[in-house]
Amino acid sequence: MAAESSKEELVRLIKKFGAYLTVKMSNLFSISLRNLDSRSVGALAGFAVAMIFTWRLLRSPSGPQRRQPKRQAPAPSSSGVSSQSTTTLAPSGVCSSSEDSRAQNVIDEFFQPVKPTLGQIVRQKLSEGRKVTCRLLGVILEESSPEELQKQATVRSSVLEVLLEITKFCDLYLMERVLDDESERKVLLALEDAGVFTSGGLVKDKVLFCSTENGRSSFVRQLEPDWHIDTNPEVVSQLARFIKYQLHISPFRPERTASNVFTAPSLEQFFGCV
């Protein structure tokens, strides 16, 4: 009995040490995980798998050791001693189960995938492109025609977060066809009220206006961006030969499109924000 008790105590101490080591290592890895290369990540994964197998090997023998031989019913005089013994042994099993569960939770948390930030998604989707041109109507603004801009200009609130992330990593130019100077003023005021110019990545000089659709195409070709974002399929088709990548904002996917043209219902949906 003394040998079994000491052996069980040793197994319990090893489990506690394993759980403690797992917690410490997971804290260390969570800090430096972003700085690891592929070989280091592979080594860490191998180490974690080894820890799991070791933990399971230590866990499996402990089951049979806890089995106690059947005893005859104790005499009434020994009932107090028996109940005291049971009370003493119970917390050990509860503590061991709690430690096992805690160690498993740490391991599960360690292997949980890290969700990328919106900035990382923007850079990945744009293939590290450094210059972007984008039309305003139907993409940044609620309005969809130059005639509507004569009455009002409204920035779509759902696109603001993506737009500001793009300005952090890219040289962004916004452009639109307008019918008069008052429409230009309304557009600039709407962008300013939405806080587009406060991020530091976009200034009013990078908001361009023209009077024709061909004028917008001319702007894009002169700027030579890595990406152009537009809602007009004719403009997208004309620029496909000259621009590296394009994003066509449309609720419907065209049957035929160039290999360098992507389609999405909205700018924010292209970046997975909806």
Tell me the pLDDT of the chain (274 aa) as tens digits. 555 666 676 667 677 766 666 655 655 554 444 444 555 556 566 666 666 766 666 565 544 444 555 555 555 444 444 445 444 444 555 556 776 777 677 666 656 677 888 888 888 888 878 999 999 999 999 999 999 999 999 999 999 999 999 999 899 999 999 999 999 999 999 999 999 998 767 999 999 999 999 999 999 999 999 999 999 999 999 999 999 999 999 998 887 888 999 999 999 999 986 5
Domain count, the chain: 2
3-state SS assignment for residue 151? coil
Same-domain check for residues 45 and 167: no
List the domain range (segments joined by +) for residue 264: 118-270
77, 94, 110: which is the final residue of a domain?
110
Same-domain check for residues 258 and 230: yes
What is the Cα–Cα distance from 272 to 124, expressed in whole angstroms? 12
Same-domain check for residues 233 and 171: yes
Same-domain check for residues 123 and 259: yes
Phi, psi of 206 (to 5 degrees): -95, 10
Alpha carbons within 13 A on the beta-carbon side of 179: 8
pLDDT of residue 87: 46
pLDDT of residue 44: 63
Same-domain check for residues 144 and 103: no
Same-domain check for residues 76 and 45: yes
Give 152's contacts (C-beta < 8 A, 6+ positions apart): 143, 186
CA-based nearest residue to 55, from 102, 94, 23, 103: 103
110, 144, 163: which is the final residue of a domain?
110
Range 4-10 contact pairs with CB under 8 angstroms and sequence separation of 24 or more: 4/65, 7/65, 8/62, 8/65, 8/66
Same-domain check for residues 103 and 234: no
Phi, psi of 70 (to 5 degrees): -65, 135
Tokens of 265: 């219902």
Same-domain check for residues 102 and 124: no
pLDDT of residue 93: 58
What is the Cα–Cα distance from 24 to 18, expressed in whole angstroms? 10
Same-domain check for residues 265 and 132: yes
3-state SS assignment for residue 143? coil
Length of the chain: 274
Which domain CATH number covers 219? 3.40.50.1000
110, 133, 160: which is the final residue of a domain?
110
What is the Cα–Cα distance from 256 to 238, expressed in whole angstroms? 14
Answer whether 245's CB lies under 8 Å from 226's CB: yes
CA-based nearest residue to 141, from 152, 125, 126: 152
Give 223's contacts (C-beta < 8 A, 6+ positions apart): 131, 133, 173
Tokens of 18: 């394993």
CA-based nearest residue to 138, from 121, 150, 154, 126: 154
Same-domain check for residues 83 and 9: yes
**Exposure string (b/e) for 214-245, b if CB count within 10 Å is 16 or more?**
eebbebbeebebbbbbbbbeebbbbbbeebeb
Which stretches of 33-117 are DSSP H helices? 38-65, 79-110
pLDDT of residue 18: 67
Same-domain check for residues 100 and 186: no
Same-domain check for residues 99 and 53: yes
